[in-house]
């Protein structure tokens, strides 16, 4: 099998039909839209939160919401609200594109909408599946699946004494990680997670939880490598892919974590890799049996000296799986995911898919990471080739580029995005977090992005 097999297998779903592609950024939909058009779609409309950083889709109708948000989650939620409760202007634009109401919608798995202006979403998630993303309920699921976890306690967000008691009970060095429930909706990117460092003032972090959550989960601060493992649940089997390093940092003098992206250069010990893949199969089987789950999912956690310890479940197609399927040969994982959720009877040959993606992602290592910038507002994308000399990054005009760094639009004002080149030359094996953090330092020098120093070696739920 190859990626071409899956593209040809699934092309008929697009051919001769109208599609509305919903994406938080137009640039993020460019490659996907081109594939739909190449497959013979009748016409395509893109509804985007912003233009985004990078090349824009062509040959389509484009409606840009103009989403703004002080944080990444704020931007995602603002765009989700715009799709769940579309404006008259948006619906008028969609009606002009699709007056006969024949179009179907392909939307982000982060947006729980069943339709958009009366047009149905194809391959969307069920509410019971999204509920699994609550960081408060997940520990019970780990136990039911037989997965080893780090100790934790669930306490009221406004009960400061209970939080402090839980930290004292669980902590080894006086530190802990605290994460909010889903009182304000699902969350990610570490925005509702805080690090309670020993001998520091916790008042700001505790005040945040009191305002934004009903309950919190208190965990040990896990020393190790933040990472994730990904799976795909079908009717009769659960596929398990390879581990991915998550680029998670702390900011000096702050209780906040920073989630910046992911990379596949790092390799855990082989027995840990096997254990992580087995955890995927156990969890995937459980959620299939309990809530009828179908499709992709990811498990985030930390590889500690005691083994992998999961911290959260992401019941959706995740960036870590998308990164693997892209570098393994540009497999159309979004299409595969949707037809599995929709229950289409197609010959997906899932055993072959698992083997090919794992082996391909092992052969081709890559990474991408980004940080929003709020003190400037950018409308155009600037791109520079950069090279890593083993210690630091420098701009380059030659062919030896290790990566490309871009500064472009985002709901926060601007975005610094780094993507490793196909021939980046970085060795496989060790974590990438330190190398990625250094690239943000170069962005600060080039464009005064003011990302600042990032502390490598963080952990905890993101």
For the chain, the domain total comes to 3
Is there a domain that residue 209 lies in?
yes
pLDDT for the residue 411: 85
pLDDT digit string (tens) for 80-130? 889 999 999 999 999 999 999 999 999 887 777 789 999 999 988 888 898
32 and 114 fall within a common domain:
yes
Does some domain include residue 439?
Answer: yes
DSSP structure class, residue 457:
S
22 and 112, same domain (yes or no): yes
Does 60 lie in the same domain as 19?
yes
In this prediction, residue 320 carries a pLDDT of 95
Residue ranges in the chain whose pLDDT is less than 50: 459-462
Distance from C-alpha of 194 to C-alpha of 133, rounded to nearest angstrom: 18
> Can you give the pLDDT at residue 173?
83
**Residue at 269 is within a domain:** no
Whether 99 and 158 map to the same domain: the answer is: no
The alpha carbon torsion through 133, 135, 139, 141 (nearest 10 deg) reads -10
Say if residue 110 is in the same domain as residue 164: no
Residues 76, 165, single domain; the answer is no
In a domain, 454, yes or no: no
pLDDT at 1: 67
Where is 267: in which H helix or E strand?
none
Residues 67 and 76 sit within 8 Å (Cβ to Cβ): no
What's the pLDDT at 204?
Answer: 93
Let me know if residue 37 belongs to a domain: yes
430, part of any domain: yes
End-to-end CA distance of the chain: 35
pLDDT at position 457: 63
Helix (H) or strand (E) holding 312: strand 307-314
pLDDT of residue 437: 95
Residue 39 falls within a domain, yes or no? yes
Q: Are residues 115 and 190 in the same domain?
A: no
Query: Among 201, 259, 188, which Cα is nearest to 458's?
Result: 259
Q: Looking at residue 294, what is its pLDDT? A: 96
373 lies in the same domain as 430 = yes
For 165-216, how does the pLDDT look when each residue is reduced to its tens digit (9 = 90+)?
999 999 888 889 999 998 888 888 888 999 998 888 899 999 999 999 999 9
* Domain carrying residue 116: 3-122
Same domain for 179 and 115: no
CA distance 179 to 304: 19
280 inside domain: no
């Amino acid at each position: 099998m190859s990626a071409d097999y899956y593209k040809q297998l699934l092309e008929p779903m697009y051919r001769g039909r109208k599609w509305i592609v919903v994406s938080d950024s137009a640039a993020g939909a460019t490659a996907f839209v081109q594939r739909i058009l190449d497959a013979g779609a009748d016409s395509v409309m893109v509804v985007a939160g912003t233009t985004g950083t990078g090349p824009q889709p062509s040959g389509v109708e484009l409606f840009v919401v103009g989403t703004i948000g002080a944080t990444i989650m704020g931007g995602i939620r603002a765009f989700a609200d715009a799709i769940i409760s579309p404006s008259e202007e948006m619906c008028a634009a969609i009606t002009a594109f699709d007056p006969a109401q024949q179009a179907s919608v392909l939307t982000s798995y982060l947006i729980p909408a069943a339709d958009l202006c009366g047009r149905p979403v194809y391959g969307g998630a069920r509410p019971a599946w999204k509920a699994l993303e609550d960081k408060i309920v997940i520990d019970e699921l780990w136990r039911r699946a037989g997965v080893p976890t780090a100790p934790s306690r669930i306490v009221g967000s406004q009960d400061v004494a209970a939080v402090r008691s839980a930290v004292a009970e669980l902590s080894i060095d006086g530190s802990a990680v605290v994460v909010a429930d889903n009182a304000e909706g699902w969350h990610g990117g570490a925005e509702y997670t805080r690090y309670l460092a020993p001998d520091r003032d916790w008042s700001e972090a505790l005040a945040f939880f009191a305002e934004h959550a009903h309950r919190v989960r208190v965990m040990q601060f896990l020393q190790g490598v933040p990472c994730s493992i990904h799976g795909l649940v079908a009717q009769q089997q659960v596929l398990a892919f390879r581990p991915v390093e998550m680029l998670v940092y702390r900011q000096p003098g702050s209780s906040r974590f920073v989630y910046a992206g992911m990379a596949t250069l790092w390799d855990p010990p082989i027995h840990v890799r096997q254990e992580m893949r087995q955890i995927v199969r156990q969890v995937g089987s459980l959620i299939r049996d309990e809530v009828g789950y179908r499709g992709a999912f990811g498990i985030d956690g930390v590889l500690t000296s005691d083994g992998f310890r999961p911290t959260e479940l992401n019941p959706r197609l995740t960036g870590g799986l998308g990164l693997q399927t892209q570098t393994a040969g540009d497999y159309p994982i979004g299409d595969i995911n949707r037809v599995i959720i929709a229950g289409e009877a197609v010959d997906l040959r899932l055993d072959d898919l698992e083997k090919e993606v794992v082996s391909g992602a092992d052969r081709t290592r890559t990474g991408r990471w980004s940080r929003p910038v709020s003190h400037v507002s950018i409308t155009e994308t600037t791109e520079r080739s950069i090279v890593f000399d083993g210690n630091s990054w420098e701009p380059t005009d030659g062919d030896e580029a290790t990566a490309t760094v871009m500064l472009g639009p985002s709901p926060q004002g601007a975005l610094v995005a780094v993507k490793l080149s196909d021939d980046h030359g970085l060795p496989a094996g060790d974590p990438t977090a330190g190398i990625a953090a250094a690239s943000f330092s170069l962005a600060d020098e080039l464009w005064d992005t003011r990302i600042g120093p990032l502390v490598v070696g963080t952990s905890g739920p993101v």
